[in-house]
Amino acid sequence: MKVRCILYILLFWLPMCLTAQDKQESTARLFVGGGFANVMDTYLSPYSYKGFRAQLIIERQYEHTMHRTTIHVSPLENMAGNVYEYDFGVAYGVAHHFPMLKTGAFNIKAGPMEHMYLGCIYNERNGNNPAQAKLSLMLDASALATYDFRLGRKDFQLEYSLDIPFIGLAYSPQFGQSYYEEFVLGNYDHNCVFAHPFNTPSLRQRLVIDFKLKNQGCLYLGYDGELFQTKYNGLRHHSYSHSIIMGIKL
């Protein structure tokens, strides 16, 4: 219990305190994206389901802090093409980026990121195991690199961000545990899992090029990729996605 309390403090309060200190002017950005998704969750099926991924990202960038909310929906199909699965989720992250390197136009910031995720994968065919709930609270290692350059008379900025889940807590049913046992009978069985890089080897990355417009506005075009994997309680999960994203400055 003590360990969990310490983890909650680390994951929740420390980043929040850091956020409170960051009163600088902010930049808000809105991205929409679409691409390819490959999702496997062995609680539902031993095989990957593939399909389209649509996502919406809202981001607010302060001088040292970045708040990001991501919503995604993926209709997926099994390899035989006869069953659908639906993956949807909401992620909210607060990153604290501290200057690591600045050489002319090149700038690298890095720091911790508090990351919460709530989602669900629903399989339309399964009976007593129809869905897999996803809930996690993670502390990620986050980095942001930017490079300003000029092409002709235009100013551009290239931005690369990388988030690697480090430690945290995640929900998972046990290998063959039913939701009836958990939520009707209240029989829990290691359903709160300590997540670390060896059972959550994952990353999220993004490469965005920023087209600065004359009227102080900006257009963004880029790639967003997620390689999220877990091995909890004997159940394996992966969610790979590669999306093209477009955004505007709000």
Binding site for other proteins (CB under 8 A): 40, 42, 44-48, 78-83, 101, 103, 123, 125-129, 162, 164, 174-178, 180-181, 184-185, 187, 189, 197, 201-203, 227, 229-231, 233-234, 236-238
Minimum separation from the CB atom of position 114 to other proteins (A)? 19
Quick one: 29 or 97, whose CB is closer to other proteins? 97
Quick one: 31 or 240, whose CB is closer to other proteins? 240
Quick one: 155 or 182, whose CB is closer to other proteins? 182
Minimum separation from the CB atom of position 219 to other proteins (A)? 27
* Nearby residues of 239 by Cβ (< 8 Å), 6 or more positions away: 37, 38, 39, 87, 226, 228, 229
Minimum separation from the CB atom of position 201 to other proteins (A)? 4
Minimum separation from the CB atom of position 78 to other proteins (A)? 6
Q: Is 212 in contact with 248 (CB distance < 8 Å)?
A: no
> Coil, strand, or helix at residue 244?
strand
Minimum separation from the CB atom of position 238 to other proteins (A)? 4
Q: What are phi and psi of 127, to 5 degrees?
A: -90, -80
* Nearby residues of 217 by Cβ (< 8 Å), 6 or more positions away: 248, 249
Quick one: 128 or 215, whose CB is closer to other proteins? 128
Give the Cα separation of 9 and 14 in Å (integer). 6
Q: Is 54 in contact with 244 (CB distance < 8 Å)?
A: no
Minimum separation from the CB atom of position 48 to other proteins (A)? 7
Quick one: 82 or 216, whose CB is closer to other proteins? 82
* Nearby residues of 80 by Cβ (< 8 Å), 6 or more positions away: none
Q: Which two tokens stand for residue 213?
A: 């417009």
Quick one: 131 or 209, whose CB is closer to other proteins? 131
Of 117, 63, 110, 54, give the one whose Cα is nearest residue 86.
54
